[in-house]
Amino acid sequence: MKLTAAFAALALTTTVALAQNLPDLGGREIVVVTENAYPPLQFLDASGTAIGWEYDAMAELAKRLNFTVKFENISWDAMIPAVSEGQFDLGMTGITIKDDRKEKVDFSDSYMTSQMVMMVRGDEARFTDAASFKADPTLLIAAQPGTTPFYVSVYEVLDGDEANPRIKLFETFGATVEALKAGDVDLVLTDGTAGAGYVEASAGGLKIVGDKLGTEDFGFIFPKGSDLVAPINAGIAAMKADGSLEALNTKWFLDYKMGQ
């Protein structure tokens, strides 16, 4: 009975791929690494279960392209080197598509476009935008080294000095948010999607101030020359075309209440 069910499931996924004229990866196992620290894209819920926009998107891609997924966890600073070395087949953690990163890994097409925002404590009144933050030398900003928020902090908020002592470095994005909540720093930059999730979950403890600081496109990463890039791109295109990506946006950015 279990064998029959397995064949039925395989036939169903293959049918889905063929119906959409998508590549069929024949049940291949793909090892996907993530950080689980970037809600609502990927994070651990109150029970410790890994959930989020990217998990749902990967599950849908697996169904359409007929592959299985094995998830692994790693810190952000180790992710790009590990994928580049072929330790994992694919990386996902809201990774901004950048030319310098393309020298180390291949990117999928963009699956989401977001804009950088300034996240502060809910009672913050000392500054309201990047200019007023920069003008007060007592104010501190938290960032992960090597990330888009770090470079925007350096070159668009502060003075272009990557060693500026006003930037406090943390290993994870979650740690930057905790430092903000604790009053150890005064500002965290994040993309608008994650920022909205944290603000929603904070019950007034956090807010967004100022203008958006730029636009960034997110993509999955692969070892250079990976044969998975084209199939994943085909799957992303199909999900864009039929509204599936927009449905995930609605689920995770509008309907889902963080912390429930």
How confident is the model over 162-171, as pLDDT tens digits?
Answer: 999 999 999 8
- pLDDT value of position 255: 62
Q: Are residues 50 and 107 in the same domain?
A: yes
Q: Are residues 147 and 248 in the same domain?
A: no
Q: 207 by DSSP, 3-state: which?
A: strand
- pLDDT value of position 119: 97
CATH number of the CATH domain containing 102:
3.40.190.10
How many CB atoms neighbour CB 6 within 10 A? 11
- pLDDT value of position 73: 96
Q: Is residue 175 domain-resident?
A: yes
Q: Are residues 128 and 160 in the same domain?
A: yes
- In sequence order, the 6+-apart residues with CB closer than 8 A to the CB of 9 are none
Instruction: Note down the domain range covering 77.
Output: 2-112+218-255
What interhelical angle do 53-65 and 2-19 show, nearest 10?
90
Give pLDDT tens digits for 184-213. 999 999 988 778 878 988 999 999 999 999
How many domains does the chain fold into? 2
Element housing 140 (H / E): none
Give pLDDT tens digits for 91-117. 999 999 999 999 999 999 999 988 889
Q: Is residue 260 domain-resident?
A: no
Give pLDDT tens digits for 42-82. 989 989 999 999 999 999 999 999 999 999 999 998 999 99
- pLDDT value of position 146: 82
Q: Are residues 10 and 91 in the same domain?
A: yes
